[in-house]
Amino acid sequence: MNSDPLQGFAPQIPQIFSQQWAQMLALLHPPGKPADAPAADTASPAALRFDMQKLMALQQRYQCELTRLLSHAGAAPEPLEDKRFAADSWRSHPGAALMAQVYLLNSRTLLGLADALEADEKTRRRVRFAVEQWSAAFAPSNMLAFNPEAQRKLLDSQGASLAKGISNLLRDMQQGHVSMTDESLFEVGRNMATTEGAVVFENDFFQLIEYKPLTEQVFERPLLLVPPCINKYYILDLQPENSLIRHAVAQGQRSFVISWRNPDTGLQQATWDDYIEQAVITAIGEVREIAGSGQINTLGFCVGGTMLASALAVLAARGEAPVASATLLTTLLDFSDTGILDIFIDEPSVKFREWQMGQGGLLKGQELASTFSFLRPNELVWNYVVGNYLQGETPPPFDLLYWNSDATNLPGPFYAWYLRNMYLENKLVKPGALTVCGQALDLSQIDMPVYIYGSREDHIVPADAAYASTQYLSGPLRFVLGASGHIAGVINPPAKKRRSHWIREDGALPASLAEWVAGATEHAGSWWHDWSQWLAAQGGAQVAAPQGYGREPIEPAPGRYVRQKADANR
């Protein structure tokens, strides 16, 4: 039996997409392993079994719906809510409209089959994910021969749209990823990551950027931001109007950020311990020394929050207390609920990664970026395949999507250790189960004020998982729930007056998010104001803003490290 159910379809799609799909599938189901790879379960897969009652009901619904569609084939097409088929050209061509309706019916039926599978929940989720990928790929909107909107543009432009589409495809093949925005309009340091500052420290792992104050006074305790090392730091400093860093500086916070080096072969053997000791803990010490402060405030975002919590637990185990408070944004400490990413994690896949790169090597940035894109294939893959290649369009400018395409490599040992100890075995929340930098970790020793934020529609760090952190940390805790997803929920500047957030005024932290929500109050707009007020209370006295940087600048912000590219073709 073919181990890759999608392999036969791969040759039919453009090379650039075929490469990205293969990268995504490699994480879901590792490719054929050489003879010396760790043995996995080689038994023949059991025959698929279905709930017969669900199967019969599904068959009946399918037959009835198909009969209805065919009997109305000559009538005016019904409007389709699916935005892939929303253009008027789909309704004006009855054949195309019928094809779209049959496709949607088939997709619903295939998903119904996945749900009727008699298997454990993880297997059903994996099958459903594969069906969703396959269904998204086979949409008639993805093919010029079946897409009336693309055909109309081809005729109206006298072939120019197709020529432009081929040019777009060749460009994307060269750069190694599907363009989600007009990347020519953005440049780090010119109109991205422009908050004024300077690099005041660097080592092999990171550069430390200090920002120039925007206020006459600043809080005596500085703020260190720890972004995820799987992305570039400037998600926190996209443009002035949506920069969390600039917002913090404008609130009187003397702010510093870690700008991660994009790993190359020189860091291919770096471990989790290396990143905690030589990056996070080193950065904490450097900020204290530069600012002349006994304690600092800290913020960690996503994996950066997991790394920050690990560092704080190491410091607590050493009897050190250099940090006064922490903010954790969409952060996993308890990995028992990892959302859709759980389908990629099991013992054989982790063993393969350990064999492949556990002792050295790099996880290429584009591989990880492609995987995250395929978690939402219609919005982040096929939408751009259709627009860029079939219709010859240039996607509109969008700073967040430019950042999303600016991939970052990961050292293999760091990645393999993270998969096993966090995602697979969930050791961080088990006191004494995990040793980092020579210290047995116990999150309950992190005894300080902590602000915990989760996004309600987050598919990377589910809101329940973000809330679970409240059950493991000591000290005064504040949880805030925001609307939207993993990135848009966090990067939500107050001036936009968008989205809501929820707060419990009584400060209670019951066992579950559902219980917390039951007593929470919805507030319009961004959560940034609430965080700013909370952080101000942790900042200590206000003092005169420094007239210069705490050290002789190495170079102006954003520095060299953030400009390093992960070469997808190397």
Average pLDDT on 213-234 reads 97
Residue 323: is its pLDDT beyond 80?
A: yes
pLDDT at 19: 45
pLDDT of 36 reads 61
**Annotation marks residue 229 as catalytic:** no
pTM of the predicted model as reported, rounded to 2 decimal places: 0.90
The CATH number of the domain holding residue 295 is 3.40.50.1820
Q: Say whether pLDDT at 97 is over 60.
A: yes
Q: H/E element holding 228? A: none
Asked if 311 and 276 count as a contact pair (C-beta separation under 8 A), the reply is: yes
Q: Are residues 397 and 471 in the same domain?
A: no
Domain presence at residue 38: no
| Number of domains the chain contains | 2
Quick check: is 531 in a domain?
Answer: yes
Question: For residue 21, what pLDDT is reported?
Answer: 40
Return the pLDDT at 75.
Answer: 72
pLDDT value at 4 more than 50:
no
In this prediction, residue 364 has a pLDDT band, given cuts at 50, 70 and 90, of very high
Structural contact between residues 436 and 314, judged by C-beta atoms closer than 8 angstroms = yes
Confidence at residue 367, expressed as pLDDT on a 0 to 100 scale: 87
pLDDT score recorded for residue 450: 98
Q: Where are the alpha helices (DSSP H) in 232-376?
A: 244-250, 272-275, 282-291, 303-317, 347-357, 365-374
pLDDT at 31: 46
Q: Could you give the 3-state DSSP secondary structure of residue 272?
A: helix
Looking at the domain assignment, is residue 332 inside a domain?
Answer: yes
What proportion of the chain, given as a percentage, has pLDDT over 90?
81
Please identify, among 376, 406, 436, the residue that sits at the C-terminal boundary of a domain. 406
Q: Are residues 308 and 378 in the same domain?
A: no
| Strands 217-219 vs 542-544: parallel, antiparallel or unpaired | antiparallel
Considering the domain architecture, whether residues 478 and 452 belong to the same structural domain is answered as yes
Query: Quick one: pLDDT band at residue 13, thresholds 50, 70, 90?
Result: very low
Query: How far apart, in Å, are the Cα atoms of 269 and each of 215, 266, 364, 470?
Result: 42, 8, 14, 34
Question: Are 277 and 395 contained in the same domain?
Answer: no
User: What domain range is 122 assigned to?
Assistant: 10-30+51-175+365-406
Q: Based on the domain organization, do 18 and 79 belong to the same domain?
A: yes
If pLDDT is split at 50, 70 and 90, which confidence band does 35 have? low
What is d(CA 103, CA 45) in angstroms, rounded to the nearest whole number?
A: 29
pLDDT number for residue 522:
97
CA dist., res. 267 & res. 262, Å (int): 9
Shared-domain flag, residues 427 and 541? yes
What does residue 514 show for φ and ψ, rounded to 5 degrees? -60, -40
Confidence of residue 81 (pLDDT cuts 50, 70, 90): confident
Residue 351 has pLDDT above 70, yes or no: yes
- Are 401 and 428 within one domain? no
Task: Using the predicted structure, report yes or no on whether residue 358 has a pLDDT greater than 70.
Answer: yes
Q: Is the pLDDT of residue 448 over 80?
A: yes
Predicted pLDDT of residue 38? 63
User: Above 80 in pLDDT, residue 123?
Assistant: yes
Higher per-residue pLDDT: 69 or 325: 325
Q: Is the pLDDT of residue 9 over 50?
A: no
Burial class (CB in 10 A: 0-12, 13-18, 19+), 351: buried
What pLDDT is recorded for position 39?
55
The mean pLDDT value for 392-402 works out to: 94
Which of 10, 13, 11 minimizes the C-alpha distance to 382?
Answer: 13
With a pLDDT cut of 70, the percent of the chain lying above it is 90
Q: Say which residue, 278 or 70, is predicted with more confidence.
A: 278
- 8 Å CB contact between 70 and 94: no
Mean pLDDT over each residue of the chain, to the nearest integer: 90
- Mean pLDDT calculated for residue range 8-37: 44
The answer to whether residues 313 and 396 belong to one domain is no
- Whether pLDDT at 11 is above 90: no
Q: How confident is the model at residue 73 (pLDDT cuts 50, 70, 90)?
A: confident
Q: Examine residue 3 and state whether it is found in any structural domain, yes or no.
A: no
Residue type, 2: N
What pLDDT sits at residue 170?
95
Q: Catalytic: which of 64, 229, 302, 437?
A: 302
- Does any domain span residue 192? no
Average pLDDT value for residue range 72-99: 84
- Domain end, chosen from 381, 406, 431, is at 406
435-469 per-residue burial string, b: 16 or more CB within 10 A, e: under 16 = ebbebebbbebbebbbbbbbbbebebbbbbbbbbb
